[in-house]
Structure 1
Amino acid sequence: MHRNAVVVARALREAGARGEVVELTSPARTAAQAAEVLGCPVGAIANSLVFLADDEPVLVLTSGEHRVDVTATAAALGARELTRPRAPVVRAATGQPVGGVSPVGHPQHLRTVIDVDLLRYDVVWAAAGTPHAVFPTTFAELVRMCDAEPVRVA
């Protein structure tokens, strides 16, 4: 297993998560690719997106069928603006590459908001630190593990 996936698996165990890391036979860099490989609705994919809220990295967990409304999400965070950083900033904040960012296993805690639309799914799939690894979870488990704030992000 890739070292990033090992870190995520450890973080899941330490958090008491029920799901385990699953290695994929093909990469899933997008929600559509992950849904196709997993055979689930694209909305059940929890995209882990790093943004800068007034220059501070934050993690936005959104349903794979949404695009983040940066104005509304900035307001929910109490920020003036929400912007997408370049890949090196994402890796520095998470230790993981764009396309494989997990909700857990980062070098330091990131303020996290979670899309309330993920509540529609009994099982939610999230990346496990690499585009070749995922794990099953639930909305409630993500809120607990990430200390995430439920908001409407789309």
Structure 2
Amino acid sequence: MSSNLKKSAQKVQTVLNEFGFELNVVELSDSTRTAQEAANTIGCTVSQIAKSLIFKGKSSQKPILIIASGTNRVNEKVIKEHIGEKLQKADADFVLEHTGFAIGGIPPIGHKDSIITLIDEDLMQYDEIWAAAGTPNAVFKLTPKILVEITKGDVISIK
């Protein structure tokens, strides 16, 4: 694994430590790039994967983070009603520029810029969930309550 990838996972661990919870980044041997791969590697359900998706506000051009349950697709109309503007797909360069992380390992925290964050209400039903930690092989386990606390995200229906 390249040192850049390791650096990304270390950065996430450093940010997690600052919150004061016992949250530990785990580097896995298999890929966690997709929700399905992550669930298979971790041994949890796909729904317990908190996937961090970066969109761009169509008029504001600002990044918007949606943390979705692994099985859910984002309903862009629902999000538009919540944030007051249409969503655009964000390309890899936009994501890297605003988060400091590459697609496939975007964590819910530790971004370069402050990002509007919306959390899928379906994640709230689980005792534990798993989120990416900066690389395609790094994850960390947390509770939905801690996710809301550390991201300051709004919990909404995203589907």
TM-score by length of 2: 0.93
Q: Deviations over 1:83-135 (max 9, x none)?
A: 11110100111111101000011112211000000011110100001111000
Distance 2:131 2:118 in 1: 14
Partner of 2:99: 94
Task: Work out the number of aligned pairs and report it.
Answer: 153
Partner of 1:134: 139
SS at match of 1:71: helix
Q: Which moved more, 1:15-24 or 1:4-13?
A: 15-24
SS at match of 1:27: coil
Distance 1:96 1:85 in 2: 13
Letter in 1 for 2:110: G
Aligned partners of 1:17 and 1:137 also within 8 Å? no
TM-score by length of 1: 0.96
Paired residue for 2:23, among 4, 19, 22?
19
Counterparts of 1:66-145 in structure 2 under 5 Å? 66-79=72-85, 81-145=86-150
Unaligned runs of 5+ in 1: none
- Identity, % of aligned pairs? 39
Distance 1:108 1:12 in 2: 17
Partner of 2:152: 147
SS at match of 2:148: helix
Distance 1:5 1:74 in 2: 32
Q: Deviations over 1:62-94 (max 9, x none)?
A: 000101001111211222x01111101001111
Aligned partners of 1:114 and 1:150 also within 8 Å? yes
Q: Deviations over 1:19-75 (max 9, x none)?
A: 200001011110000000000000000000000123210110000010100111121
Q: Structure 1 residue runs of 4+, over 2 Å off? A: none
Aligned CA-pair RMSD? 1.0
